[in-house]
Structure formats: structure tokens, C-alpha cells
Amino acid sequence: MPFSEASKYHRHVSTEEGAGVRRYETIIVTLIGVSALFVSGYTAYVQRQQVRAAVWPILEYGTSNEPKIRFTIDNKGVGPAIIRNVIVRVDGEPVRNWQAALQKLLGPGDYKFTQSSISGHVFAAGESMDVLVPHDSDGNALDFGKSSTLWSALNKERGRVGVEICYSSTLGDCWTLRRNANSKSTTTETRTCPDQSAISFEQ
């Protein structure tokens, strides 16, 4: 092969080899960039989950009869629970306030009680609140020894009360606590809490 043709051949081979090396380098750089992006995204996700866990509220609803009949809400979580919407039901039917609830449970009457506001309340981590404590005609909390007739009637019927409470964390994550009449509570995560409506609890 003449020298000039051999030189051209070597230059051609060198050019192809150089192009191949550049393509390989481009692929490597691209993979490194994609990997860095993935690691960055995953790190952000992990950090978000850690922060989320650090402010996670867990609401629980309950009713008890010792030492008095009462209806309570507790925040068992590690972060504040911001109440967004509340629905209280008796036998599955919404009621707007505790007076209406007691009338459904016990019949017509003007019942005495103390209450704590639920709607819009921010439950601190570990906070427990008596949202309703029924009283007898003398204004005393229902105690079996002092108001046995009313105590017995309400103790029998209090399981008919159900609640649906939508609440959020300080990060805006939302959950709905549901407790139907005479059943166990369930909590499910939801995208957003509904706006208050005609069946929302007023207190």
C-alpha cells in the first residue's frame, strides 16, 4: 500500500476510534448524571418521610363510663392534629350539636352538659380532650351512684354515637378518622379534607 494511502487509512481508523471513545464518554457522563438525579430525588424523598414521621398526628375517639360518662378525643401521635371537618352521627344520621345528639339518644328534653369545641381545634401531641361530659339535672357529671337512672340510660345508648373527623398535620397531609356506631375506629389517609357542609358538626 502506498504511503499516502496508508496514512489516509490510519487517519480514518483513528477518527472512528476517537468518535467511539467520545460516544462512550457521553454515555458514561449521561449515566452519571441520571444516577446523581436519582440519588438526589431519593434523598429528598427520604428526608420528606423523616420530617413527615416527626410530625405525624394520630387521633383516637372513645367513650367511657369511669368515673363519669364522657366522650373523648386523644392525639396519640407525635405532631399536632389540625381539625378540618367534623361529622357526628347517631344511628348513622348526622347531628349538628350535642343537644341534638342527646335528644336522639335519650328522647326529647333539655339536657345539661359541658363540651369542648372540636371544629378548628389544634390538638397538640399527647393532648386528650373531653369533648362531651353529660350532666344530671343538678349540673353534676353523670355518676352511677348519684344519677343512676340517667347514667344507666346513657351508658346503654352511648355506643350509638359515631364520628368522622378529617384532620391534617402541619405539613398538610390529611387523614380521616371514622368510628361508626358500635364499631371500631379506622383511620385512612386522604388527599384533602372536605369543606364544611350542611351536615358538619357546629361545635
State which of 54, 80, 97 marks the end of a domain. 54
pLDDT, one tens digit per residue, over 107-143 is 999 999 999 999 999 999 999 999 999 999 889 898 8
If asked whether residues 47 and 131 sit together in one domain, one would say no
Residues 48 and 64 in one domain: no
pLDDT above 90 covers what percent of the chain?
A: 63
Query: Which residue segment(s) compose the domain that 6 sits in?
Result: 1-54
| 71 and 86 inside one domain | yes
Q: How many domains does the chain have?
A: 2
User: What are the pLDDT digits (tens) for 80-97?
Assistant: 999 999 999 999 999 999
Per-residue pLDDT at 10: 52
| Residue 102 is assigned to a structural domain of this protein | yes
The pLDDT value recorded for residue 46 is 52
- Give 43-83 pLDDT, tens digit per residue: 554 555 555 668 899 999 999 998 899 999 999 999 999 99
Q: Are 70 and 50 within one domain?
A: no
- At which of 38, 54, 70 does a domain end? 54
Statement: residue 3 has pLDDT above 70: no
Query: CA geometry: angle at 73 spanning 53 and 192, to 5°?
Result: 50
Is there a domain that residue 198 lies in? no
pLDDT given for residue 151 in this prediction: 92
pLDDT in tens, 135-161: 998 898 988 777 778 999 999 999 999
Clarify whether residues 84 and 168 are in a common domain: yes
pLDDT at 17: 59
113 lies in the same domain as 49: no
Together in a domain, 118 and 42: no
Are 47 and 73 members of one domain? no
Q: Are 164 and 176 in contact (CB under 8 A)?
A: yes
The pLDDT-based confidence of 27 (bands split at 50, 70, 90) is confident
More confident residue, 31 or 197: 197
Note the pLDDT tens digit of each residue in 160-200. Answer: 999 999 999 999 999 999 999 988 999 999 999 999 999 99
Q: What is the pTM of this model?
A: 0.76
